[in-house]
């Protein structure tokens, strides 16, 4: 079993819809939770970063962490065609400095 | 990509030949990483470095070696390339106390 599971999609939504992405993880030692966005033929770029349970907002993006369920989510409000990309969750253990990535979910926002 | 450069961007090589990929950073970050990205597998850690001459293996290190002789450069070598090493290779950096990674633009390697 992978340490971090993520539905590969693709997830297709109309412009303006809410995009809902999620990951589950198995190791309770994970303490830091991130979401990366990756456009085609580009490197991943950090979108959101949180280390506690609860919600964190940044513009149209909301990251949600539920440590008791080992479940993290990313919501994109008022989605735009420019949001079409692959979204990867990434989790960091408290000790060490190596990120463990989910497999990524491909999102397509149709105009 | 700010402060991190990978070279070459594309490479085609023959089975059995050695290949070296280079990652160069201008951020003076302590940590550097090499990942490979393949469909269905996501990003998998090959090797990482936590300082000059300090390196360690990741989850898919077989067939790869690394070297870091100075802070800014982290080299990944495929000792004898195989078709299974056809992939996109990403370098990433992070600083002490900085839990987010910055990724390079990737090297697309094809082994024929």
pLDDT digits (tens, 9 = 90+) for B21-80: 999 999 999 999 999 999 878 899 999 999 999 999 999 999 999 999 999 999 999 999
d(CA B54, CA B70): 10
pLDDT tens by residue, A54-99: 899 999 999 999 989 999 999 999 999 999 999 999 998 765 568 8
d(CA A66, CA A24): 10
d(CA A90, CA A48): 10
Contact A99 B48 (CB under 8 A): no
Q: Is B83 helix (H, G, I), strand (E, B) or coil?
A: helix
Residue B2's pLDDT is 64
d(CA B100, CA A36): 10
Work out the minimum CA distance from A102 to partner chain B, whole angstroms.
7
- Among chain B residues, the shortest Cα distance to A93 is held by B99
Token pair belonging to B21: 């990929």
Does residue B97 surpass a pLDDT of 80? no
Distances in Å between the alpha carbon of B72 and those of A21, A73, B51, B54, B98?
Answer: 35, 35, 10, 13, 17
- Among chain B residues, the shortest Cα distance to A40 is held by B105
Beta-bridge mates of residue A6: A23
Backbone dihedral angles phi then psi of residue A45, each to the nearest 5 degrees: -130, 140
Contact A104 B42 (CB under 8 A): yes
d(CA A75, CA A64): 8
Across residues B89-110, what is the average pLDDT? 88
- Tell me the residues of chain B between 21 and 80 that have a Cβ less than 8 Å away from chain A: 31, 33, 40-43, 45, 48, 50, 58
Does residue B109 surpass a pLDDT of 70? yes
Identify the CA nearest to A27 among candidates A93, A108, A87.
A93
Identify the CA nearest to A4 among candidates A19, A23, A18.
A23
Residue B21's pLDDT is 98
Residue position matching structure tokens 């994109």: A76
d(CA A106, CA A84): 8
């Amino acid at each position: 079993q992978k340490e971090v599971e993520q539905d590969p999609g693709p997830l297709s939504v109309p412009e303006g819809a809410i995009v809902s992405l999620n990951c589950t993880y198995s190791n309770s030692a994970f303490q830091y939770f991130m979401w990366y966005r990756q456009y085609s033929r580009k490197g991943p770029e950090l979108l959101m970063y949180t280390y506690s349970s609860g919600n964190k907002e940044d513009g149209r993006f909301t990251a949600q962490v539920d440590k008791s369920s080992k479940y993290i989510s990313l919501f994109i409000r008022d989605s735009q065609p420019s949001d079409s990309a692959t979204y990867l969750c990434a989790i960091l253990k408290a000790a060490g400095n190596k990120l463990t990535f989910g497999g990524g979910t491909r999102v397509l926002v149709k105009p | 990509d700010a402060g991190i450069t990978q070279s070459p961007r594309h490479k085609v090589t023959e089975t059995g030949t050695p290949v070296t990929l280079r990652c160069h950073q201008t951020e003076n970050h302590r940590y550097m990483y090499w990942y490979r990205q393949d469909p269905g597998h996501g990003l998998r850690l090959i090797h990482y470095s936590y300082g000059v001459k300090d390196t360690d293996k990741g989850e898919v290190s077989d067939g790869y070696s690394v070297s870091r002789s100075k802070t800014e450069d982290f080299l990944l070598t495929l000792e004898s390339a195989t078709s299974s090493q056809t992939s996109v290779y990403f370098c990433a950096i992070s600083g002490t106390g900085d839990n987010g990674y910055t990724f390079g633009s990737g090297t697309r390697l094809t082994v024929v």
